[in-house]
Amino acid sequence: MNPKTLLASALIFALPAAASAETGPWTDVAPGAKIRVLTSDHVSADGKMLAGLEFQLSGGMKTYWRIPGESGIPLTADWSNSVNIDHVDFLWPMPKRAISKGYFDYVYDQDFVLPFEIAIDGESDGMSPKLVGNLLMGICGEICVPVTYEISKTLDLSAKDISVSFKLDAALADVPILDDRPNAPFDAVYIDATQNKLVVRPSDDLQENQSLILDLPNQNLLFDVPQNGPGSQLISFQPLRDISLADHVGSTARLTYSGRAGAFEKMVPILSFDAINP
């Protein structure tokens, strides 16, 4: 198990039963869907505060990962009216795969926390930092609807909120980290031009192979679930729209996966199929 996961689990069990995160009020954004904002009220040595969106989704409701999929609505956020804040970055936990009405998506459901980091302006004018955000996202049940969620919160830096920090640390346990293990799998992606698909050599960890997600950063191109065809030792990915992959040789792919050691991601080169070792 990833040491990060062990730490988060230990923190959860150490939390007194009566403690709860009450940072922000719940907002009903759609039938069966509530959101509230959590802030740790603590700035780390690198000038960042950990925060999160806590969701309560019931009755089969779901929302979407950073790559929403075929039918999902991506989460967008405008933080431009914030005060004494440099930028805000979402930290995306490992999603679930979902196929509904023939569409393939990456989703979150039930109760979960989407963590994010707030970079505090180190050269502020003395005013307390204020987080102001206008968020747009998809919340889906039987139908999919775009919903907005607005944040306007002056950040209290005087004392760390212990109970909220425990909850945010637990959410971080599911966020993929850079896979810098000495024997990390998936060193490259290869283009099989004859079948117009991408392939990778498999990991020794079956869970990593099954959970593997491939995407091309900054490109609107979605791939199907990983396949291991009969007689092949390679894992393959087919694009979900009619496009030639040959032009992507020399570019970069992002791989996201979860296994026995935790959740990881890495950037790898895309090479021609001739470069693969037998």
Domain extent at residue 91: 3-174
| Alpha carbon distance 95, 67 (integer Å) | 10
Per-residue model confidence as pLDDT tens digits over 142-179: 888 899 999 999 998 888 899 999 999 999 999 999 99
- The residues near 221 (Cβ < 8 Å, ≥ 6 apart) are 215, 239, 241, 243
Question: What SS3 class is residue 50?
Answer: strand
Average confidence score pLDDT of the chain: 88
Spatial CA neighbour of 37 closest among 20, 51, 19: 51
Per-residue model confidence as pLDDT tens digits over 102-145: 889 999 999 999 999 999 987 666 688 999 999 999 999 888 88
| Residues 49 and 91 placed together within one structural domain of the fold | yes
| Residues 169 and 247 placed together within one structural domain of the fold | no
Overall number of domains in the chain: 2
The answer to whether residue 271 scores a pLDDT higher than 90 is yes
| Residues 207 and 128 placed together within one structural domain of the fold | no
| Residues 214 and 194 placed together within one structural domain of the fold | yes
| Residues 127 and 182 placed together within one structural domain of the fold | no
Domain of 208, CATH number, reads: 2.60.40
| Residues 101 and 16 placed together within one structural domain of the fold | yes
Strand 76-78 with 27-30, pairing: unpaired
Q: Are 257 and 214 in contact (CB under 8 A)?
A: no
| Residues 113 and 143 placed together within one structural domain of the fold | yes
| Residues 31 and 162 placed together within one structural domain of the fold | yes
Angle (deg, nearest 10), helices 3-14 and 162-172: 150
| Residues 103 and 85 placed together within one structural domain of the fold | yes
Query: Model-level pTM?
Result: 0.87
Q: Which residue has the tokens 């989703």?
A: 107
Alpha helices in the chain (DSSP H): 3-14, 162-172, 206-211
pLDDT value of residue 12: 34
Domain end residue (candidates: 174, 207, 222): 174
**The CA-based dihedral angle spanning residues 270, 272, 206, 68, taken in that order and rounded to the nearest 10 degrees:** 40
Domain end residue (candidates: 127, 153, 174): 174
| Residues 250 and 112 placed together within one structural domain of the fold | no
Per-residue model confidence as pLDDT tens digits over 21-52: 446 799 999 999 999 999 999 999 999 999 99
Spatial CA neighbour of 97 closest among 67, 73, 56, 76: 67
| Residues 156 and 266 placed together within one structural domain of the fold | no
